Amino acid sequence: MRILSGIQPTGVLHIGNYFGMMRPAIALQAQGEAFYFIADYHALTTIDNPETLRSNSRQVALDFLACGLDPDRAALFRQSDVPQVTELAWILSTVTPKALLERAHSYKDKIARGLPASAGLFTYPVLMAADILIYDSDVVPVGKDQKQHLEMTRDIALKFNETFSGDLKLPEPHIQPATETVPGTDGQKMSKSYGNTIDIFGDEKETRKRVMSIVTDSSSVEAAKDPDSSTIFQLHSLFATKEETAAMREAFHRGGIGYGEFKKQLFAKLWEYFEPMRKRRAEILADPSYIGTVLNRGAQRANEIAGQVMARVREAVGL
């Protein structure tokens, strides 16, 4: 089974990224042949500073490795280090109906949030399809908000296969329930664009500040509180054991404890959870050549597969 997933280097990674993409991807690396790419081409739709893009890409690699990605099991590489991706994207664009792209929820949402309506943003699903199809991917871990893009990938692959008698493999989604349950400090889905994130590797003072800024209702200390509507409880449940979650739920219902105390408990669990990863991150930073070596090895593995798939595609279309 070949597994494919990617993450954009658009900023500092937060716990929504961790539970939504990184932890599921790291868990899957033991179940098959994994290819994980840093989507720097995609990031160009929002980043126009070259040094920022380079720095962010390196930070994503660093954080992914610190969180448990094993480069002996999974290929980690930059999207731009596999030139076959953009070649395939152009070929796929010649069979992709414009109406299909116009139905993309992500494009509509980003335009509504004020992003420029560039051709790159509009054709994002075609490049995403190339990312997936160039490696003959079997399984793609995605959140609910990305499920439509995977369906579009399958539609594009089918159209290519029908048009050119091709043999592009149709991938299957691997839906991660946790991607729907990581709220930010304001209760919305955690996202850099909302400014409501808690960073994975933020310093202690800043992390505590962000946890303590979580928005709550006006319930008094004495009042019983609803855990199911609480961002504090939802986030705590991501880090806690079943017994600890049950204890906090009971404390919410019982009353007599204020939100401030619950926030302190959340911070303590969050900080403890990422402690081994902070140590691993420091070890990686002590070896200046390690990240580059990992990315180069990953790119070599990725190019071997991409070259084979692209040779079939070029033969199919007559190039």
Q: Give the residue among 40, 138, 88 at the shortest CA–CA distance from 316.
A: 88
Q: How high is the pLDDT of residue 24?
A: 87
- Amino acid symbol at 52: T
Q: Do the Cβ atoms of 54 and 31 come closer than 8 Å?
A: no
Residue 177 has a pLDDT of: 57
- The token pair that represents 101 in the structure block: 């792209």
From 118, 150, 145, select the one nearest 44 (Cα to Cα). 118
Which CATH superfamily, name and number, covers 202-273?
Answer: Tyrosyl-Transfer RNA Synthetase (1.10.240.10)
User: 58: closest CA among 43, 74, 73?
Assistant: 43
Question: Rounded distance, CA 16 to CA 234, Å?
Answer: 12
Question: 34 has which bridge partners?
Answer: 3, 74
Domain 2-180+288-317 has CATH 3.10.110.10: no
pLDDT at 180: 53
Q: For residue 109, what pLDDT is reported? A: 76
Structure tokens at 71: 């480069």
Other C-beta atoms within 10 Å of 193: how many? 15
The type of residue at 114 is: G
Q: Which residues are catalytic?
A: 110, 189, 192
- Tens place of pLDDT per residue across the chain (319 aa): 999 999 999 889 999 999 988 998 899 998 999 999 999 999 998 899 999 999 999 999 999 999 999 999 999 999 999 999 999 999 999 999 999 988 887 777 777 777 777 888 889 999 999 999 999 999 888 766 677 878 999 999 999 999 999 999 999 877 765 445 689 999 998 988 789 999 999 999 999 999 999 999 999 999 999 999 999 999 999 999 999 999 999 999 999 999 999 999 999 999 999 999 999 999 999 999 999 999 999 999 999 999 999 999 999 999 9
Collapsing DSSP to helix, strand or coil, 93 comes out as: helix
Query: What's phi and psi for 34, nearest 5 deg?
Result: -105, 135
Domain boundaries, the chain: 2-180+288-317, 202-273
How many Cα atoms are found within 13 Å in the side-chain-facing hemisphere of 308? 10
Per-residue confidence (pLDDT) for residue 312, from 0 to 100: 98
**14 in Cβ contact with 142 (< 8 Å):** no
- Residue 63 CB neighbour total at 10 angstroms: 22
